[in-house]
Chains A and B, each alone.
Chain A
Amino acid sequence: MVSKLNGQYGSGIREASTYLGQNYMVVEPSVVSELLQILRDREQFDYCVDITAVHYPEREKQFDLLWILYSFPRNERIRVKIMIADGESVPSAVSIWATANWLEREVYDMFGIRFDGHPDLKRILLPDGWKGHPLRKDYGIIQQDQEWVQANLGIESGQ
């Protein structure tokens, strides 16, 4: 499968391998939207398990953004990974899998990665108006948006 896709995208797929029996591929952000569409339509990855991100502050391209996909007919999982820099936005997958809606919102909430074409991109777990994206590595574990807490909860600190 990978070779087939490789033929189509050439350098778009940078790496495709298996770790601990789990397949993943690292691709260029530019092709990812098309690739996901093809994975669903042609390769029958009809179930988007999860969308998540990992933050590496010391890298130039700070974020790993992952799609974990599953195919019911093939009983197979695959992880599609791209690397993007802070502030870069990614095409949304909502039109491919409806489930991407909340998952992308959560990624936006936690990492601040914007998704283009998302119907309603706003915070999901944290309140609107909160500042900062807590799952970034530079966000301390007891750090919080004091201003928001004081304004909305009327207390000095949420700790």
Chain B
Amino acid sequence: MQPVATTFFFYFLAGLTLLSGVFVITRKNPVHSALALIFGLLAQAGLYLMLYAPFVAGVQIILYAGGIMVLFLFVIMLVNIERSQREEQFNKQWLVGLLAAIALGGLFVMVYVKGKALFPYPIAQPLENSNTQQIGVMLYGQYMFAFEIASLLLLVAIIGAVVMAKKRI
């Protein structure tokens, strides 16, 4: 696959990601925030595609944009939005927020100053073997244990959710 107009698409997608990130935290209506987050995730999927990681992009779309965000939306839609819109949000933690912002800003400045030297890896290249296959081998070979542990964690979460939600099981 030959990339077309790489620079344009990179900036386009990156800009979209940032913009939707901003929207996520500025919108007062949580549904709008969630929607912005979905756009952000989709734009990220596009970025993954440009890194020759189509599998990750696909998983990003299926799991995050398609699955998890739908559940997010479900929950958000069932809470009382009018009230949360009226309330002022997170104003007690402005100090912490400021500190985090300064730290993050410092990081960005450092990255900008140091430039490419920080990332000693070569630019991603198309792989001989398919990316999907490699992920599969890694996941079920090398990182088998971690993978299973993670699934166990999810199982616990499911059971917990059921116990909390259901009065009579």
Is there direct touching of A and B in the complex, by C-beta distance under 8 Å?
A: no
A contact set with B: CB distance below 8 Å: none
